[in-house]
């Protein structure tokens, strides 16, 4: 009989005091796939390229000098400056297959969203970056799931929230990088994170 191993979240939440937007994925890939010790660590994941395109017109802005990893210090400083908190919707998972795919993640313990939001009183929006994260969030919030590229509004623990569903930054998601960046840019403009 196969023993299914529960995996604890390895990073904890990254919550600058000025967090206005909370970005939630599902769960980090296995450490063997990491290029830095921070969120979206897989160099094959395009989240930091999306951010580079939107804010610096350079998809390689967050790539370090080796060209094979992301620059963790730059990514952290950027999130502090822009008021972007990072986390995941699962605190504990079981990987049903030995890969990073969300569809083979079983969520054992979901995020305690109230506890996280209590730490970021200025947060007015949440963005999820994949379907597994959206499914987990919908199980917690009184929310009508938005279409990809859009948001829905909800009221949760005395707070009005916008919840965005953006395209996955995984290369497995069938949309060109430039189009993903346009979707994210629209959200950042709506939230006045881009002046």
Angstrom distance (rounded) from CA 84 to CA 15: 7
Nearest to 5 by CA among 92, 102, 89, 133: 92
Helices (H), the chain: 47-56, 72-82, 113-118, 131-138, 177-190
Angstrom distance (rounded) from CA 75 to CA 71: 6
In this prediction the pTM is 0.91
Angstrom distance (rounded) from CA 53 to CA 187: 14
130 Cβ contact partners less than 8 Å away, ≥ 6 residues apart: 25, 26, 102, 168, 170
Q: Cβ of 76: how many Cβ atoms within 10 Å? A: 16
For the chain, the farthest-separated pair of C-alpha atoms sits apart, in whole angstroms, at 56
pLDDT beyond 90 at 163: yes
> Domains, the chain, ranges and CATH?
6-190 (3.40.470.10)
Distance of CA 100 to the CA centre of its chain: 15
Which whole number is the average pLDDT over 66-91?
95
Percentage of the chain modeled with pLDDT above 90: 71
Which range has the worst mean pLDDT, 33-47, 93-107, 134-148?
A: 93-107
pLDDT of residue 92: 85
User: How many residues are present in the chain?
Assistant: 195
pLDDT beyond 60 at 3: no
Which whole number is the average pLDDT over 28-33?
85
């Amino acid at each position: 009989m196969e023993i299914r191993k529960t995996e604890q979240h390895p990073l904890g939440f990254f919550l600058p005091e000025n967090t206005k937007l909370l970005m939630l994925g599902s769960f980090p890939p296995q450490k063997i796939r990491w290029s830095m010790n921070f969120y979206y660590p897989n160099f094959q994941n395009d989240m930091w390229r999306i951010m580079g395109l939107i804010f610096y017109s350079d998809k390689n802005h967050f790539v370090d000098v080796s060209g094979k990893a992301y620059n963790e210090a730059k990514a952290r400083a950027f999130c502090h400056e822009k008021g972007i908190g990072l986390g995941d919707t699962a605190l504990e998972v079981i990987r049903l297959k030995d890969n990073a795919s969300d569809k083979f993640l079983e969520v054992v313990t979901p995020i305690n969203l109230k506890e996280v939001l209590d730490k970021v009183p200025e947060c007015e929006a949440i963005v999820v970056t994949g379907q597994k994260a959206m499914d987990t969030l919908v199980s917690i919030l009184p929310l009508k799931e938005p279409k990809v590229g859009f948001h829905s509004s909800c009221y949760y623990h005395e707070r009005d929230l916008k919840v965005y569903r953006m395209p996955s930054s995984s290369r497995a998601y069938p949309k060109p990088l430039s189009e993903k960046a346009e979707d994210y840019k629209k959200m950042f403009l709506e939230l006045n994170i881009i002046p």
